[in-house]
Chain A
Amino acid sequence: MLDVINVSYDTQIPNNVGLSSDKKVLKALEKWHPGYIDWWNKLIPQNFQESLVYLRTAVSVDPKGWAKFDYVKMPEYRWGVLLAPQVEDRRIPCGEHAGEPAWQEVPGEYRNMLKRLIVIQGDTEPASVEQQRLLALMAPSLYDMRNLFQVNVEEGRHLWAMVYLLHKYFGRDGREEADDLLRRQSGSEEAPRMLGAFNEETPDWLSFFMFTYFTDRDGKMQLESLAQSGFDPLSRTCRFMLTEEAHHMFVGETGVGRTIQRTCEVMKENGIEDPCDTDRIRALGVIDLPLIQKKLNLHYTLSLDLFGQEVSTNAANAFNAGIKGRYQEIRLTDDHKLTGDTYTVWDIVDGKVVQKEVPALTAINMRLRDDYTRDAAGGVGRWNKIIEKAGIDFELKLPHEAFHRKIGVFADKLIDPEGRFITGAEYDEGMKEWLPSHADGDYIQSLMKPVYEPGKYASWIAPPKVGIDNKPGDFEYVKLHMA
């Protein structure tokens, strides 16, 4: 009998989907595997590939088994195909097929829509590893380096998860799409990644933390909506991915939080009361809170663009088809069809930013984005607690959704972080306060000196309160290979 909880190692690819008896898919995956390993090996600098990293590997998908910690060299990490256990008698949760049994095979009429969603999701996974490939060279500690690599290997596994679905359910064109996931490259001129935000390099660790906090949170919301899919294999895949995604949220939230913590500590130690006294604060080797606000403005607004247009027929179609649900669809208590409902979205009317009602079906993207914003605001509140606890008078805020947008009704409009239309001159002047300048970037870059001694941290970031896997403060999370 197929053991769906424990991971089987009887093929080259660890899995709980019975690959050893699914020869066709196994063969296709084994053909894809060397290209993946090649991609990985060329990506991250060699001495890190040779280093022993204290990583978490799933040995089963039940709670007891999916967090096994051990030292491993990244190229030897057991990437595999892991699906959450099948829920008995699961039903399609939304749209016109709501209530019908969930599909175990691809529904023909939605084949292309499904494939496109899987490919877009799959494309972001390797893209972020590419964006972050050089960060270990300036890691603020071995602890942070380990967290980076954990995020990286899990993004790699998420790519595997999507590739499995393509191979298993989409035949020849699925295999071609899987190959293309390795062909496209973040930032490439000829073959860039599909979404804009995934073609920007992650230049420093504060950007990395902001990226994992905001951009990966978009990823989490997309996974949440795909976890509600009526196509059961996609739902099960995404449900398991979400448990891993929580670690990425953790890296982002605590990374920014520890940066704030350190800044506050150093300000206090040196008797600096004014958070905007940036020259003095920067002279002490920490990142001033106004600059953290600027980074937050930048990353938050970039991530909003990932949700697409305010009013979208694609999103309506995917929902109506039961391919993609809303956040926590099964916990919502409406009829799950949205045929007569409306939803409030932002728009521009007579030169003003206003809210208006639109058919709820077409506002699926916005609804998910609002859920995202609520989720993101929670962490900002916890960052503010750190500042408040230190007794410093400063509050971080999410800017208005209309600010600094490239997609949707607000694209390229002159709007300030409060959501007000302003003149070009005001905009140019204001931008100095609102978004990081090149000089700000240079300053952050100047702090990016690697710290490779166990238990030691760079000047600009506080140590974590709790170690990974309850390890003590001076635990050697990465045994560096020094060739």
Chain B
Amino acid sequence: MNTPIKQHLIDPEICIRCYTCEMTCPIEAITHDDMNVVVDADKCNFCMDCIPVCPTGSIDEWRVVNTPYSLEEQFGWSELPPQEDLGEAESGMEAIDEAMAALLAEAHAGAGGKAVAPKSAAKPAINLYTLGKPAVAKVQGNYRLTKDPDHDVRHIILDLGGQPFPMLEGQSVGVILPGEDENGNPHLPRLYSVSSPRDGERANYNNISLTVKREPGGLCSNFICDLEQGAELQLTGPFGATFLLPDDAEARLLMICTGTGSAPMRAFTMRRQRAVGGKSGGMLMFFGARNPESLPYFGPLKKVPENLLRQELVYSRVDGQAKEYVQDRMLAREDAVAEMLTDPATHIYICGLKGMEEGVEHALTNIAESIGQPWATLRDVMRSEGRYHVETY
């Protein structure tokens, strides 16, 4: 059976035949006849250069297909064919890859219903690279983020070279572990949320960063944490179409995370820092770790200005201090959280270990009740409006 692939198409009902895309495409993958402007599936490498230059939005159409539509078929269209039923494949999906989609569905389950992207989020690209056709990244850097000897968290910078790999903040990549599992099958890719913003770890360099904790006995995490500069690894993705940053600078973010769950929050923060600076609606972050020595990005966080990001760093294992978890600090800052819950500009993001869900849910329930809002109802409204996002593992 063919693996489904993602095909780039142009909507003939919306396209005005200005041919700007055709003139922009660096590899001449776009062509036209007297009827339609079309994309050659054999040539298109998803570089996305044509997307922003299109005045109509007709260029941003994608179908998951077993067999790509030929140029001749596309020339004959007066409208786009509907998405074929390939099982789960449909628009707004998080991944085409079934296994990846299942992983993300599980990670997002804590939101209590079908996740929806924020209204003003940019449109994500997904599944450009697959197990059959992975991207190859080169390790540009591998830095230890934590001083705690029992807690090795790494900042990994990956260079994508000339391969187009458009990632939005909050999206994930799949890392392919070399070798085979005990049954002789290739390992399933492991999902990691990127911690860099869309224009790259370094702006306008085609690189991304990951935040990876070395797990005792963890095959993939040890593989990644041991990678040396210059080493290569294979990636699939991007994945994820809902846990995304609103582009609206006025949106207010309430971010709750622990450990490496800080990866998307770092990406959000850097994006805001680069794109809107201090003029944004503001971000409040509750970030939990065992102690300052095991909190990833502890140093860099200190340099982020308060008007961009208000930080509540919370520690559970500091000698001589009572254990404190993120939910405890949220309750202690009840008024600030409550005020945000009442504001329709507020977007909530929760990311970390599954174990954090219950406590955070409990704190939010309490705070919502205190202002007369049943949390389950408020949460469902926020989620359906793309303002409540959970990713836990």
Give A residues with C-beta under 8 Å from B.
63-64, 66-67, 69-71, 242-243, 246-247, 249-250, 253-254, 378-379, 382, 385, 465-468, 470-472, 475
Q: Answer whether residue B88 sits at the interface, using C-beta atoms and an 8 A cutoff.
A: no
Cβ of A250 and Cβ of B119 under 8 Å apart?
no
Say yes or no: A379-B52 contact (C-beta < 8 A), given A466-B57, A467-B57, A468-B57.
no
A479 to chain B, nearest CB (A): 10
Tell me whether A250 and B18 are in contact (CB under 8 A): yes
**Which positions in B face A, CB cutoff 8 Å?**
11, 13-14, 16-18, 20, 24, 48-50, 52-53, 55-58, 60, 78, 119-120, 122-123, 247, 249
Q: List 19 A-B contacts (CB under 8 A).
A: A63-B53, A64-B48, A64-B49, A64-B52, A66-B52, A66-B53, A67-B53, A243-B24, A246-B16, A249-B55, A250-B16, A250-B55, A254-B14, A254-B16, A379-B16, A465-B13, A466-B56, A467-B57, A470-B122
B residues near A246, Cβ cutoff 8 Å: 16, 18, 20, 53, 55
Most chain A beta carbons < 10 A, residue from B16, B57, B123:
B16
- B56: shortest Cβ distance to chain A, in Å? 5
Known: A64-B49, A70-B249, A466-B56. 9 other contacts (CB 8 A): A64-B52, A67-B52, A246-B16, A250-B16, A250-B18, A250-B56, A382-B16, A385-B13, A475-B119
Task: List chain A residues, Cβ under 8 A from B16.
Answer: 246, 249-250, 253-254, 379, 382
Does B14 contact A465, Cβ atoms closer than 8 Å?
A: yes
- Whether A466 contacts B58 by the Cβ 8 Å rule is yes
Cα A139 to Cα B119 in complex, Å, equals 24
CB distance from B16 to the nearest CB of A (A): 5
Nearest-CB distance from B8 to chain A (Å)?
A: 15
Q: Is there contact, CB below 8 Å, between A472 and B49?
A: no
Contact B18–A470 (Cβ < 8 Å): no
Task: Tell me the bound Cα distance from A324 to B366 in angstroms.
Answer: 72
List the B side residues contacting A69 at CB < 8 Å. 247
Q: Residue on A with the closest CB to B58?
A: A466
Contacts of B20 in A (CB 8 A): 242-243, 246
Q: Which residue of A lies closest to B166 (CB)?
A: A64
The reply to whether B53 and A466 contact each other, CB–CB distance below 8 Å, is no
- List A contacts of B55 (CB < 8 A): 246-247, 249-250
Chain B residue with minimal CB distance to A375?
Answer: B17
| CB nearest neighbor in A for B250 | A71
Q: For the complex, what is the distance from the CA of A364 to the CA of B35, rounded to whole Å? A: 26
User: Closest residue of chain A to B24, judged by CB?
Assistant: A63
List 7 tightest A-B contacts by C-beta distance, closest first.
A466-B57, A67-B52, A63-B49, A246-B18, A250-B55, A247-B55, A246-B55
Query: From residue B367, how far is it (CB to closest CB) to chain A in Å?
Result: 29
Contacts A63-B24, A379-B16, A466-B58 known; A243 to B53 CB distance under 8 Å?
A: yes
In the bound complex, residues from chain B placing their C-beta under 8 Å from that of A466 are 11, 14, 56-58
B106 to chain A, nearest CB (A): 28
The smallest C-beta distance from B34 to any residue of chain A, in angstroms, reads 8
Residues on A with C-beta less than 8 A from B24 are 63, 243
CA distance A254 to B56 in the complex (A): 9
A470 to B52, CA, bound (A): 11
Cβ of B11: which chain A residues have Cβ within 8 Å of it? Answer: 466
Q: Which of A63, A253, A378, A475 has the most CB of B within 10 A?
A: A63
Question: Which chain A residues lie closer than 8 Å to B56 at the CB level?
Answer: 250, 254, 466
Cα–Cα distance between A475 and B250 once the two chains are bound (Å)? 14
Q: How far is the CA of A400 from the CA of B14 in the complex (A)?
A: 27
The CA-CA distance from A379 to B15 in the complex, in Å, is 10
Contact between A472 and B53 (Cβ–Cβ < 8 Å)? Answer: no
Residue of A nearest to B47 (CB): A63
Instruction: Identify which of B18, B50, B249 contacts A63 (C-beta below 8 A).
Output: B50
Give the CA-CA distance A64 to B24 in the complex, in Å.
Answer: 10
- Compute how far the CA of A199 lies from the CA of B13 in the bound complex, rounded to whole angstroms: 34
Q: Give Cα A250–Cα B54 distance, bound, in whole angstroms.
A: 10
Q: Which residues of B contact A254 (CB under 8 A)?
A: 14, 16, 56
Residues in A neighbouring B122, C-beta threshold 8 A: 470
Complex CA gap A69/B16 in Å reads 21
- Closest-CB distance, A424 to chain B (whole angstroms): 40
Q: Is the CB of B120 within 8 A of A471?
A: yes
Cα of A24 to Cα of B278 in the assembled complex, Å? 36
Instruction: Enumerate chain A residues within 8 angstroms of B78, measured Cβ to Cβ.
Output: 385
- The interface residues of chain A lying within 8 Å CB-to-CB of B120 are 471, 475
Residues of A within 8 A of B49 (CB): 63-64
> Which chain B positions have C-beta within 8 A of A70?
249
Q: What are the residues of chain A within 8 A of B50 when measuring CB–CB?
A: 63
Q: Are B60 and A470 in contact (CB under 8 A)?
A: yes
| Residues of chain B within 8 A of A67, CB atoms compared | 52-53
In the complex, the answer to whether B57 meets A63 with C-beta atoms within 8 Å is: no
Q: How far is the CA of A71 from the CA of B247 in the complex (A)?
A: 11
Shortest beta-carbon distance from A239 to chain B in Å = 9
Contacts of A379 in B (CB 8 A): 16-17
Which chain B residues border A465 with CB–CB below 8 Å? 13-14
The residue of chain B having its C-beta at the shortest distance from the C-beta of A246 within the complex is: B18
How far, in whole Å, are A253 and B12 apart by their CA atoms in the complex? Answer: 13
Q: How far is the CA of A50 from the CA of B250 in the complex (A)?
A: 18
Residues of A close to B17: CB separation below 8 A: 378-379
Asked whether B57 lies within 8 Å of A470 as measured between CB atoms, the reply is yes
From B12, which residue of chain A is reached at the shortest CB distance?
A382
Shortest Cβ distance from residue B21 to the other chain A in the assembled complex, whole angstroms: 9
| Nearest Cβ on chain A to B135's Cβ, whole angstroms | 19
Q: Looking across the interface, which residue of chain B has its beta carbon closest to that of A386?
A: B13
Chain A residues whose CB sits within 8 angstroms of the CB of B119 once the complex forms:
471-472, 475
* Chain A residue at minimum C-beta to C-beta distance from B121: A470
Q: How far is the CA of A63 from the CA of B47 in the complex (A)?
A: 10
Known contacts A465-B13, A471-B120; A249 and B53 CB within 8 A of each other:
no
A258–B200 Cα distance when bound, in Å, is: 39
Residues of B within 8 A of A63 (CB): 24, 49-50, 52-53
Residues of B within 8 A of A243 (CB): 20, 24, 53
- Determine the residue in chain A with the shortest Cβ distance to B50: A63
User: In the complex, A475 Cα to B121 Cα: how many Å?
Assistant: 12
Chain A residue at minimal CB-CB distance from B276: A70
Residues in B with CB closer than 8 Å to A64 are: 48-49, 52
Chain A residues whose C-beta falls within 8 Å of the C-beta of B249 in the assembled complex: 70-71
| List of B residues within 8 angstroms of A468 by Cβ | 57
A242 to B21, CA, bound (A): 12
Closest to A388 in B: B78
Minimal beta-carbon separation of A172 from chain B (angstroms): 37
- B18 near A249 (CB under 8 angstroms)? yes
CB distance from A474 to the nearest CB of B (A): 9
Residues of the B chain whose Cβ atoms lie less than 8 Å from the Cβ of A385: 13, 78
The closest CB in chain A to the CB of B60 belongs to A470
Residues in B neighbouring A472, C-beta threshold 8 A: 119
Interfacial chain B residues near A467, Cβ < 8 Å: 57
Q: How far is the CA of A69 from the CA of B48 in the complex (A)?
A: 17
User: A470 contacts B123, CB within 8 Å?
Assistant: yes
Q: Which of B13, B52, B120 has the most CB of A within 10 A?
A: B52
Considering only CB atoms, which chain B residue lies closest to A150 in the complex? B55
In the assembled complex, the Cα of A249 lies from the Cα of B60 at a distance in Å of 18
Smallest distance from the beta carbon of A227 to chain B beta carbons, Å? Answer: 10
B387: shortest Cβ distance to chain A, in Å? 14
Q: How far is the CA of A66 from the CA of B119 in the complex (A)?
A: 23
Of listed B48, B53, B55, B247, residue having the most chain A CB within 10 A: B55
Q: How far is the CB of B117 from chain A (nearest CB, A)?
A: 10
